[in-house]
Structure 1
């Protein structure tokens, strides 16, 4: 049975209306509700199901970020993860962290923990990068199954049904492997009160990026963050002739 690493990220809650800072340096996060990235919830659920089916020996949740990330880690533990690893990054340095850094950290932890499978959400809803799984697989030289909507594990072979533009694609991977979870992979469970209480006693290891030989530095500079332009109001037409006339006036035909 394989040990499974699951990446979990703390993001602004999906139901919160995002506001840009007055100086346009980023978005407002102070005093704003945060939660686990929804795609990461799906990844945690899938890892727990693999353990329940006796395909996984242990589920280890991993998060990278400041002290507040422990809340997200405890949520994963309350869902059923066995233990957690918090790679602490000071709040002042956290804006520098991108998928490249997280991928290096996950790859180092996979080697350290002798993991057989890494599952992450296909993307985070704050940056929508969709890069971590692919980069992690590259650093480890492991096969990857991205956008997974179904997983089947038999021995050391992992069958992944993945969602692509043309429909569904089925691939077979040899373990160890990296998988990113898509929306239809499963329905995450709610953490019950008894499990929330148990999660407080579960082990959480604290590390720093330097403990894993990863340097947090970036060559990317954010010049400005702004709201998307307001869309112009639409118009109604009575018939096709009027539609063509309006399109001609707008120079679209």
Structure 2
């Protein structure tokens, strides 16, 4: 079975993230880039499915030059090869444009299953899986906490507020996963060294068959028109306990309408 796992590099959530003042896009150069956390769960699931059914795992990533670091990490976890879509014309693409661009990229790859995280920490739109499936014309299985593949059919547990639903679809399909699905493995030293020799195919718009008029900030369906820095965190209220600390806390909570 040929599995594609989508990987995204995002700014480290431990650092301050900023927007470029000129166009209100995320300033990726202003903070360290790391692999999106939920992408690691998607990679692990792809590897587990390969171990069960054979085949290979291909990493597909859309991003600037520095996204290579996240691609290499995915390869060091055990993926077989990678495709890196990298073109300056993609700058500022929104979620729908990203889905279109990735769908075009996937037309260059043989796949039975596409796995991705349910959202990214930099945008949190949570729509990429659904939009990608629409562009590809295949079923979508979202919010998966468990995936089983048998006889050309994918069955998942879809996480819900009340528990989970069991959903099935024929392959090929797109599956987005949540963090409850598995525990991502740590790359061994041997795999890290092997990852340096694994093939990474680099594509631009022309090579992927992507129309420049359908991607990029100027053609985006959504736009950030204004942004302002978050206000500094205000000092907290200190309650000094002089035998009546409980009363003071209760009064404070009542004043704020928490109780």
Distance between the aligned counterparts of 2:2 and 2:108, measured in 1?
Answer: 11
Is 1:103 paired with 2:102? no
Task: Please report how far the alpha carbon of residue 241 of structure 1 lies from its aligned counterpart in structure 2 after TM superposition.
Answer: 9.3
Q: Which residue, 192, 198, 205 being the options, matches 1:202?
A: 198
Is 1:223 paired with 2:222? no
Number of aligned residue pairs: 246
Q: Which segment drifts farther, 213-222 or 24-33? A: 24-33
Q: Which residue, 39, 53, 73 being the options, matches 1:75?
A: 73
Distance between the aligned counterparts of 2:102 and 2:26, measured in 1?
Answer: 27
SS in 2 for 1:86: strand
Task: Please report how far the alpha carbon of residue 87 of structure 1 lies from its aligned counterpart in structure 2 after TM superposition.
Answer: 0.7
Is 1:121 paired with 2:122? no
Q: What is aligned with 1:84? A: 82
SS in 1 for 2:108: helix
User: Any unmatched runs of 5+ in structure 2?
Assistant: 240-245
Distance between the aligned counterparts of 2:202 and 2:12, measured in 1?
Answer: 25
CA RMSD of aligned residues (A): 2.8
Task: Please report how far the alpha carbon of residue 51 of structure 1 lies from its aligned counterpart in structure 2 after TM superposition.
Answer: 0.8
Distance between the aligned counterparts of 1:227 and 1:104, measured in 2?
Answer: 31
Is 1:169 paired with 2:165? yes
SS in 2 for 1:15: coil
Q: What is aligned with 2:43? A: 44
Distance between the aligned counterparts of 1:112 and 1:123, measured in 2?
Answer: 24
Distance between the aligned counterparts of 1:31 and 1:109, measured in 2?
Answer: 28
Is 1:180 paired with 2:176? yes
Task: Please report how far the alpha carbon of residue 24 of structure 1 lies from its aligned counterpart in structure 2 after TM superposition.
Answer: 9.1
Task: Please report how far the alpha carbon of residue 20 of structure 1 lies from its aligned counterpart in structure 2 after TM superposition.
Answer: 5.7
SS in 1 for 2:247: coil
Task: Please report how far the alpha carbon of residue 82 of structure 1 lies from its aligned counterpart in structure 2 after TM superposition.
Answer: 0.4
Task: Please report how far the alpha carbon of residue 164 of structure 1 lies from its aligned counterpart in structure 2 after TM superposition.
Answer: 1.5
User: Any unmatched runs of 5+ in structure 1?
Assistant: none
